[in-house]
Structure 1
């Protein structure tokens, strides 16, 4: 049989067996031979035929992956980190190929033999694949189908890529070569190899195609702030409330506000407070203009939603807070007022703090929602961690469950655990979401449930009021996010596109967009008016649990289950920098009012403060040289007393509130 007959036989066999990648390789070889006129490797057809004939044997997957794994781990340390990136996608596709071909028992043995290598980085994925027991399960699982239809992007330096090719050619590991060709897209870069911590996009194993993400990210995003906002009017008038107000009247109002808000600021006596105030008063007036240069330079956009009319008393309250705002930076870090829940018996699922810290809410597994009014609670604050005078501190407030000692309002109505709570901007309403697939609106003035919103089909993991109130967003196990208004019981918009649970949701400052984080490891930005996805952010390696928007609306931070945080540029959809430091889930993120600092709260019982300014203000020259932004600098780590951090929030005066439940007995 001559070479042409061999080729025809191989092609027919490959079509019959469905080896599309091997068929493509052979076709390319034939095209090359026809163009060159000679055959440099006469054995290629025979090799592919051998590959096809042995295709029914599951042992080749185990042996091929085992050899690739051994070679990768024995590589030089300089290139090992990059070469190890190839193992996980090859492992997953070997497993899915075995299941698809009907070798279920062999697939389980293969999965259990090598799963420990990937348990730390991809635990969530492995848990999903554990439920695949038959080929029909594989076809019904959308996440698996999406992975089989898309490619993984892996970044390697030139030399690492050449080493991998040499290994595949030398070992003639056609099984591994076929999987790599079909499911991995290498991005080869010149220069030295980079570690995974240096490049957030080194491996992008996602349920969404990279091509789809690129296409979506071409859409225009108006990331500016709302025109004619109260903050803009405040800055235009140089920080003055109004011409008719006198200084004495302002001082009296400020004193009154301080009495109303006993939790804001350190409780270190009148003399200490006066010294601190003297240091800050001059800076406040000076920094109004500096804030103007950072926040006010953002473009102004028109609202897509009909915004509610702000009552005069609320407007005056906001103006008062803006006038008394303390400007913080890497040189003047904020204080942290920490509310600790005790005796929760692992029943606390979520917490929330009103914008001024006067109200604190907790959602519990017994279907209850409890709200504490801090003005009714005595000064029972105990110092958890105290730093120097110019250093941040954690001031503790203990919230118990005994109503005789700790007065709270009990809201009951849900039929399942409460997973999220959110205060309205004024603090007069609070939303709660539950595993009973409903969202409830409660009145803090009437202490009653006003509305029950039904629309989701499964548990609602998160709910958030918009910055202007009236509208709110929710996210659910049904893989959708929804936009609601307080006066309608049906959702205004449904955002569908995630491949798994939508775990968290966050509003953009201009209310024209919402961001959603999902268990499919992606973050999406949605246009509220059209319900269309306008950005897909790819880079996380575990489920996304928390989101935060910068005050100017340009940047977004997202935190995941592994403890990683990423900063994104909404205008480009690009990851500016990863933040590495937490050792467990990042449950909450918050930007300071002028956007200079980012606070992160984690299950590792710490609050971390990050310098945003140093990372986002990168010259275009540096950006083009490095290809990505420099990493955010960690300014301070504030540990708690065995208290995981559930929630963070900056007040309008730039005091940082934090909440958590004590994880062991006092």
Structure 2
């Protein structure tokens, strides 16, 4: 039998019978994919993979002796039968979606390797659909699945649409090389065989060169590649900063009402003689600035801080969420659970009580961020399992699970309309979502490292992201393009960990894990002021209401600080509790919370 197999591999041909009973000497259709897979492995020289395939598959024992036909090639034959199907366009989407789902559900240690196979499959499937005249289906396929690859191939995807003929020629004539270790490749081959996906194997054989590397060699190669990419990113960022930041930040942005409207109206009024008379008539009157009058109610006074301490959970507690009305407190833990408490806060001053916690389960990874909507009816959770969940606080149940990030989701934030929300992830992207869509409707790609935090602008026109590449970016949600890059030579020396907008939307404040805080002028993209008084990572920032000069920060150094441009910061120290969350209420009471860290007296001795 093995000699027969070798003969088949050498000739790469076999006569196949589809459907019905098979006469002697022909392979039944239910075994054709097995022959095809084995033939592919043999002709490519994947000795170990072909041996593993023979070992795990019993198809050879069920196939009678066969005769070969030099006029029929296995791959071309099966491909021709597949492409004559009426649903061939749907077959591409089905094959791709199944491969994507299988890769995302495989073991994490192999996921990154296997995902490298998905990009060339995606590109060639798109080109195949175009060549066959399925233009509408091809465009739908591209738009529906491009988000899977924007984090790593953002520029290439843009070029595919702009220079389609040129890119297609390159992909069709130069095989795309993918480096895999042996076991993940064997897993993928078994997936193709079990799922009967001929389209995938045909594309793999014709356009993709799989280079099998020993595990040790691949690890060394991965380290060298990672180091090379990091150096390249540093050079790109330095070059970008020195040459283009000024012009980049000169892009026009709109904060609030369009100013051109006022300019046009002022010009009209200036030329109106009636307005000139009116101006002279009232010129001696003093007009009180309404905004200044309103601000009298919110003048800074001695801070009132309400602090909630979590005990016996320092090692497990990752994130805390509060709402301004003091009616809910929520916490996310590393064991993938969420707990929230109703406080029954009484505004008449008679005190408040805390009910027993409600336990939420559904994630399979650590919880890194929580956000309660402004109506206090639901909450979003971001997890290390790569998903975001929408929870009903009334029912205590998960409503929707949102998937799209490749890896942990670090942060989540609601828009003020409580319908849209944004996320930040380890895959170097931020994403825009709507509650009734399970997939992202916009992807913001451009950071060189993971995106740690995201914040929605007060006018809902923009969102800000902070990254481990030590930069902050401002994005226009309408087209997904970055309109500001906040980065200077004397900027943050650490990863960006917290963001906050002033309430008029003109200032963005960022905090980093080196303890530094910087305020930025959104209109110009320039740094306003740098504060360096914390000795630990900045976890949370928030502005006082109706005052654009005062904000609070919470840090791992166990302190809360209230900053004022005109005064020295006021510092409030806890005994041994890092500050995970700070938030001002509409009455300018500062809410704060963190987990108490038990003091180890033995270590101190």
1:148 is aligned to 235
1:287 and 1:660 map into 2 onto residues whose CA distance is: 41
1:353 is aligned to 322
Asked whether the 8 Å contact 2:390–2:398 carries over to 1, the reply is yes
Q: 2:298 aligns with which of 302, 319, 327?
A: 327
Q: 2:482 aligns with which of 513, 520, 533?
A: 533
2:596 is aligned to 662
Please list, as runs of the form range in 1=range in 2, the aligned pairs for 1:151-230 lying within 5 A after superposition: 151=238, 208-224=240-256
1:648 and 1:499 map into 2 onto residues whose CA distance is: 29
Please list, as runs of the form range in 1=range in 2, the aligned pairs for 1:224-623 lying within 5 A after superposition: 224=256, 289-290=291-292, 327-329=298-300, 332-375=301-344, 407-538=356-487, 539-594=491-546, 595-612=548-565, 614=566
Alpha-carbon offset, residue 469 of structure 1: 1.5
SS of corresponding position for 2:376: coil
Distance 1:609 1:287, change over 3 A: farther
Distance 1:644 1:146, change over 3 A: same
Distance 1:342 1:135, change over 3 A: closer
Alpha-carbon offset, residue 348 of structure 1: 0.4
Distance 1:575 1:433, change over 3 A: same
2:257 and 2:556 map into 1 onto residues whose CA distance is: 33
Please list, as runs of the form range in 1=range in 2, the aligned pairs for 1:7-18 lying within 5 A after superposition: none
* Cα offsets for 1:339-370 (capped at 9, x unmatched): 11111141000011012121010000110111
Of structures 1 and 2, the larger Rg is shown by 2
* Cα offsets for 1:418-476 (capped at 9, x unmatched): 00000101111100000000000000111111000011111000001112321111000
Asked whether the 8 Å contact 1:287–1:327 carries over to 2, the reply is no
1:563 and 1:443 map into 2 onto residues whose CA distance is: 36
Asked whether the 8 Å contact 2:327–2:345 carries over to 1, the reply is no
1:299 is aligned to none
Alpha-carbon offset, residue 289 of structure 1: 3.8
Asked whether the 8 Å contact 1:649–1:656 carries over to 2, the reply is yes
Asked whether the 8 Å contact 1:139–1:145 carries over to 2, the reply is no
Distance 1:606 1:139, change over 3 A: closer
Distance 1:226 1:476, change over 3 A: farther
Distance 1:423 1:287, change over 3 A: farther
* Cα offsets for 1:299-339 (capped at 9, x unmatched): xxxxxxxxxxxxxxxxxxxxxxxxxx96142xx13311111
SS of corresponding position for 2:580: strand
Asked whether the 8 Å contact 1:588–1:647 carries over to 2, the reply is yes
Distance 1:398 1:428, change over 3 A: closer
* Cα offsets for 1:11-70 (capped at 9, x unmatched): xxxxxxxxxxxxxxxxxxxxxxxxxxxxxxxxxxxxxxxxxxxxxxxxxxxxxxxxxxxx
Alpha-carbon offset, residue 136 of structure 1: 7.4
- Unaligned residue ranges in structure 1 (runs of 5+): 1-130, 153-207, 228-285, 294-324, 382-394, 400-405, 615-632
Alpha-carbon offset, residue 292 of structure 1: 5.2
Alpha-carbon offset, residue 138 of structure 1: 4.8
Larger mean Cα displacement after TM superposition, 591-600 or 518-527: 591-600
2:174 is aligned to none
Distance 1:604 1:531, change over 3 A: same
SS of corresponding position for 2:344: helix
Asked whether the 8 Å contact 1:224–1:554 carries over to 2, the reply is no
**TM-score for both structures, normalised by structure 2:** 0.54
Alpha-carbon offset, residue 218 of structure 1: 1.4
Alpha-carbon offset, residue 535 of structure 1: 0.4
2:197 is aligned to none
Distance 1:417 1:149, change over 3 A: closer
SS of corresponding position for 1:145: helix
Asked whether the 8 Å contact 1:519–1:544 carries over to 2, the reply is yes
Distance 1:149 1:532, change over 3 A: closer
The higher-RCO structure (CA 8 Å, 6+ apart) is 1
Asked whether the 8 Å contact 2:314–2:595 carries over to 1, the reply is no
SS of corresponding position for 1:608: strand
Asked whether the 8 Å contact 2:345–2:353 carries over to 1, the reply is no
**TM-score for both structures, normalised by structure 1:** 0.49
1:124 is aligned to none
SS of corresponding position for 1:645: coil
SS of corresponding position for 1:346: coil
Asked whether the 8 Å contact 2:337–2:360 carries over to 1, the reply is yes
2:15 is aligned to none
2:315 and 2:383 map into 1 onto residues whose CA distance is: 17
* Cα offsets for 1:476-513 (capped at 9, x unmatched): 00000001111111111100000001000001000000
Distance 1:339 1:143, change over 3 A: same
Count how many residue pairs are aligned between Structure 1 and Structure 2: 351
* Cα offsets for 1:512-569 (capped at 9, x unmatched): 0000000000000000111000000012111000000000000011000010000000
1:469 and 1:527 map into 2 onto residues whose CA distance is: 19
Alpha-carbon offset, residue 580 of structure 1: 1.4
SS of corresponding position for 2:509: strand
